[in-house]
Amino acid sequence: MFKDRNDAGRQLAGELSRYTYTNGLVLGIPRGGVVVAAAVADRLKLPLDVIVPRKIGVPGNPETAIGAVTEDGTAIYDDHLMHLLHLEKEDLQPHVAEVIAEIKRRTVLYRGERRIPNWQGHAIILVDDGIATGYTTLAALRSIKKHRPQEIILAVPVAPPDTLAKLEPEVDRVVCLETPQHFYAVGQFYRDFDQTTDEEVIDLLRTYA
């Protein structure tokens, strides 16, 4: 159980500090993941940036995720759910386009005038406040790979073991503090899991960029 996202980030940074990082860069997934990532960046003395994956919702039931996408169009789909709902990727394209537009809006909001950095050759530490299904995480990882980083480290406070097992082949190293068998939601492992605001994300990026 973590006190809050700052506490989780400090504990995560303690584990990550056992390693060295050539051209290290911490990437947080908004919004809550940026709070955790900022604590990591602060402890490791590395710059902080953001990557904004978002889930793709089922048509007519947007709260149910059928995949995830990033700003550059890297998309992940739940093929089993697609089959059950008799959906093709083409059916989702209008919605996916809307999601990408929202991602671009948020990316500009968070980064401001700062240009997207070159991630090639960097050791990328991807941080979130936890992982549930892994859709957004996987989309982010696949997008990061296109930049040809030196290595990718996935660092999260908590995630179910079956989800981590699916993500491990995508990265060079996984650092996860808790892998509970009985997992319902990320928030159950925090005493304080209040929603992070856009303003908090912007302030943290300005401080640690």
Task: Convert the pLDDT of each residue in 109-134 to its tens digit.
Answer: 998 877 777 899 999 999 999 999 99
The fraction of the chain above a pLDDT of 90, given in percent, is: 89
pLDDT of residue 205: 96
Query: Quick one: CATH architecture of 54-110?
Result: 2-Layer Sandwich (3.30)
In the chain the first and final C-alpha atoms are separated, in Å, by 29
Residue with structure tokens 């060295």?
A: 20
pLDDT of residue 116: 75
Q: 100 phi and psi, to 5 degrees?
A: -65, -40
Q: Which fold has domain 5-52+118-208?
A: Rossmann fold (3.40.50)
Please give the DSSP secondary-structure letter assigned to residue 184: S
Helix, coil or strand: residue 155 = strand
| Domains of the chain, residue spans | 5-52+118-208, 54-110
The fraction of the chain above a pLDDT of 70, given in percent, is: 100
> Using CA atoms, how far apart are residues 156 and 145, in angstroms rounded to an integer?
18
Task: Convert the pLDDT of each residue in 32-91 to its tens digit.
Answer: 999 999 999 999 999 999 999 999 999 888 888 999 999 999 999 999 999 999 999 999
pLDDT of residue 158: 98
The sign one gets for the Cα dihedral 138, 142, 144, 145 is: positive
pLDDT of residue 34: 98
Confidence of residue 207 (pLDDT cuts 50, 70, 90): very high
